[in-house]
Amino acid sequence: MDSMHQEVVVGSSGAMLLGVMGDPIRHSKSPVMHNAALKALGIPGSYVPLHIKPEGLEGAVQAFRSLGFRGANVTIPHKVEVMKYLDMIDEGAAKVGAVNTIVNDNGVLTGFNTDGIGYVRSLKEEACSDLSHKHIVVLGAGGAARGIIHALTHEKPGLISVINRTESKAKKLAEEWCSLADIRGLAETEAKEAVASADVLINTTSVGMHPYIEDIPLPEEWIPEGIVVSDLIYNPLTTKLLQRSEEKGCTVHGGLGMFVNQGAFAFEYWTGQAAPVEIMKQTVLGSF
């Protein structure tokens, strides 16, 4: 990955302070992953979980700045709300409408979104190296879907079909980005037909996430044999959707790679150094 900053900037204590703001935050794997990365590169510092309630977000961002934190990740439910407390928003994050990474350059806070690029890098490395001309079906149209769909539009896909329980959200998203790719928004009633011609099927909804591991976001008989099936969920590592897809000869791709890559891109913004991706991945795997 490219280095984005030349110098390592540290807090006033001489150590690099990093963290993740969310509610809840106890189960986040980000601290263990980033602390392993700092250690591997010999960078003095610490990455801490920051349990921030919505009503405390503004104060937390001010404190982040005054305490000299170098960077933070931002997770549910703050990814949209946090934008109004930052000084600058990167163009990609502005288009997606969500921030998952903050960089503090001497008191100037800039918001980035590494979710989409992290996801697409992982999908291409692990499951489908060339997405051009493919029919990509995306289940869900929430914040996670926006990040990955925006990144997918840069891959010259043939068609992106967005299917959502609330049809209007899928349609609105498709209208907004129709100049970037051939993209259409569909209701769940149109899902069966769309999925039948999919080359790549991506679940961005929370259906199948721990503890509801027996849930599946669409009837398994709809999944075409031999396609690529991807799930953003990484807990469990293999969702029921991926299990059933694998039984049908599909190439399956779980959410761990996305999680590690979004963290790796963020780490590079903060440290200016290439992230030790394999160490980060193995650390997360070992923490389950």
Identify the residue among 50, 102, 141, 277 touching ligand ATR (CB under 6 A). Answer: 141
Judged by CB, which is closer to ligand ATR: 5, or 172? 172
DSSP annotation string for 15-69: SEEEEEEESS-TT-SHHHHHHHHHHHTT--EEEEEEE--GGGHHHHHHHHHHTT-
Look at the block and give the residue holding tokens 């959502």.
164
Identify the residue among 143, 254, 257, 276 touching ligand ATR (CB under 6 A). Answer: 143
DSSP 165: S
Query: With binding defined as CB under 6 A, does residue 164 bind ligand ATR?
Result: yes
Q: State how far the Cα of 151 lies from the Cα of 147, in Å rounded to an integer.
A: 6
Q: State how far the Cα of 264 lies from the Cα of 29, in Å rounded to an integer.
A: 13
Q: Active-site residue among 29, 79, 240, 281? A: 79
Beta bridge partners of 139: 163, 203
**Which listed range, 54-62, 127-135, 162-170, 221-229, lies at the site for ligand ATR (CB under 6 A)?**
162-170
- 79 as an active site residue: the answer is yes
For residue 167, the minimal CB distance to ligand ATR (Å) is 8
Judged by CB, which is closer to ligand ATR: 36, or 260? 260
Give the count of alpha carbons within 13 A of 265, CB side only. 20
Contact by Cβ (8 Å): 46, 35: yes
For residue 205, the minimal CB distance to ligand ATR (Å) is 3
Q: State how far the Cα of 271 lies from the Cα of 2, in Å rounded to an integer.
A: 12
**Which listed range, 19-27, 61-69, 85-93, 200-208, lies at the site for ligand ATR (CB under 6 A)?**
200-208
Using CB under 6 A as the binding rule, the residues of this chain from 178 to 197 that contact ligand ATR are: none
| Identity of the amino acid at 34 | H
Query: With binding defined as CB under 6 A, does residue 207 bind ligand ATR?
Result: yes
Judged by CB, which is closer to ligand ATR: 120, or 144? 144
How many C-beta atoms lie closer than 10 Å to residue 168's C-beta? 11
**Which listed range, 21-29, 105-113, 135-143, 261-269, lies at the site for ligand ATR (CB under 6 A)?**
135-143
Contact by Cβ (8 Å): 17, 288: no
Size of the site for ligand ATR (CB under 6 A): 14
DSSP 224: P
Identify the residue among 127, 145, 264, 284 touching ligand ATR (CB under 6 A). Answer: 145
How many C-beta atoms lie closer than 10 Å to residue 166's C-beta? 13
Query: With binding defined as CB under 6 A, does residue 206 bind ligand ATR?
Result: yes
Query: With binding defined as CB under 6 A, does residue 235 bind ligand ATR?
Result: no
**Which listed range, 55-63, 105-113, 143-151, 242-250, lies at the site for ligand ATR (CB under 6 A)?**
143-151
Q: State how far the Cα of 100 lies from the Cα of 218, in Å rounded to an integer.
A: 28
* Contact residues: ligand ATR, CB under 6 A: 140-145, 164-166, 169, 204-207
* Active site (catalytic) residues: 79
